[in-house]
Amino acid sequence: MTELSFEPTMVREDLTARQIYERVQANPARAKFGFGRKLAIVNVDFQQAYTRPDLFPVSAYVTDPRQIEHTNRISALARAAGMPVIWTQVAYMDSGGDAGVWGTRTNTPDSLQNIKYGSDRHRLDPRCAVDCTADLVFTKRMPSAFFETQLQSYLVWHQVDTVVVTGGSTSGCVRATAVESLSRGYRTIVPEECVADKHESYHFANLTDLALKYADVVKVAEIDAWFAAQA
């Protein structure tokens, strides 16, 4: 039997995650998936535990100060065009037992499993322009907005072929939702200004990975322009 041996080929370079992201976006390695016929805006976990550093400085984060403004705008455009808008939250029962193994690593007031139903940490940020007469709002328990939720059947019923993912965190629930969206056959788009994370490194490293493999990572202006072209 022939024995094969190779030197490591993994690239090592002294660039920040932001610099690598900017290089990838300036020199895309693949064609975009693009927009289909009908999209849905999936706004992931815009709840106070993650959006209000004034209330929850340990768990909350801000990347683009206009994130919620941008998300509200494209959500309004989708609504006006008769396209679905979805908001997710995360919360757990008092015992935290429905968090599973995900909730076993720490047990502090800021731990994941200690986000309880109806708590201030569970509530959507009041800056979010949620239309309770039109939008789907539900609580999830795991990173992906698809996992054991009604999202897939809702998108099928509304004949959606494109999913726009916003929210947080880029490296966590946004990434998980985007990967599962692609895995389920949806064109998947992530508007850069509409996602956030705790650390620049995680944020841009995951935007890079999404852009290379799983989604079109675009400026939010591209979403605005697509809606304007539908009018």
Residues known to be catalytic: 173
Judge contact between 190 and 214, C-beta under 8 A.
Answer: no
Going through the chain in order, the beta strands assigned E by DSSP cover 39-44, 85-90, 136-140, 162-168, 187-191, 195-196, 216-218
Burial class (CB in 10 A: 0-12, 13-18, 19+), 31: exposed
Q: Please give the C-alpha separations between residue 202 and each of 6, 41, 149, 205, in angstroms, as whole numbers.
A: 30, 23, 26, 5
- Tell me the Ramachandran region of residue 81: left when phi exceeds 0, alpha when psi lies from -120 to 50, beta otherwise: alpha
C-alpha torsion angle, residues 101, 104, 110, 113 (rounded to 10): 40
How far is residue 89's CA from residue 145's CA, in Å, rounded to a whole number? 9
Q: Please give the C-alpha separations between residue 89 and each of 11, 199, 206, in angstroms, as whole numbers.
A: 37, 21, 21
Q: Please give the C-alpha separations between residue 227 and each of 12, 72, 152, 180, in angstroms, as whole numbers.
A: 41, 14, 23, 24
What letter represents residue 163's amino acid? V
